[in-house]
Amino acid sequence: MRHNKQLVPGPVKTQVHTLRRLARVLDDLIRIPGTNIRVGLDPLLGLLPGGGDLAGGAIAAYSLMVAARVGAPPSVIVRMAGNIALDALLGVVPVLGDLFDVGWKANRRNVALLERYIGAPEPVRARSRLLVVVLLVALAAVFVGVAVVSVLVVRWLLGALS
């Protein structure tokens, strides 16, 4: 097994470090006083009706590009995309989706997956890049669906209030 420094060139190492910092901001930025629970911008963005979960998911999709640059295998990339999709889909549910975001921490999970791969890599075929493109398109479709559902939920709430 090779040492990480031989596997991950400087610019990619920097991107993984940036991804780690982004995950902290999105998932663990602030500790709720009196608890060990940490909250980031992702669940707070989710409180914005109509686009908050979409914005959080779009930011989280950056992790897939970093994974492709590192050379992560399809199994890692698919799991990362699944974390993002689950976070975006369940985040649509008002309040409960935001509570799910607080506990799920998809961005932190994705960093952990990527760092595990970097620590014990396996050979990767070139089709991983194609998989990332396909998954980004699929995530875009999920995000469009999330946006549509969010608009419908907001309309329903406004109709119920009036």
**Could you report the per-residue pLDDT of 18-54, keeping only the tens digit for each?**
999 999 999 999 999 999 999 998 888 888 776 777 7
Say what percent of the chain tops pLDDT 70.
Answer: 87
**Could you report the per-residue pLDDT of 86-109, keeping only the tens digit for each?**
888 888 777 888 888 888 899 999
Cα–Cα distances in angstroms (integers) from residue 8 to residues 5, 22, 69, in the given order = 6, 19, 10
Split at pLDDT 50, 70, 90, the class of 9 is low
Domains of the chain by residue range: 4-161
3-state secondary structure of 31: strand
**How many other CB atoms are found less than 10 A from the CB of residue 75?**
14
pTM: 0.70
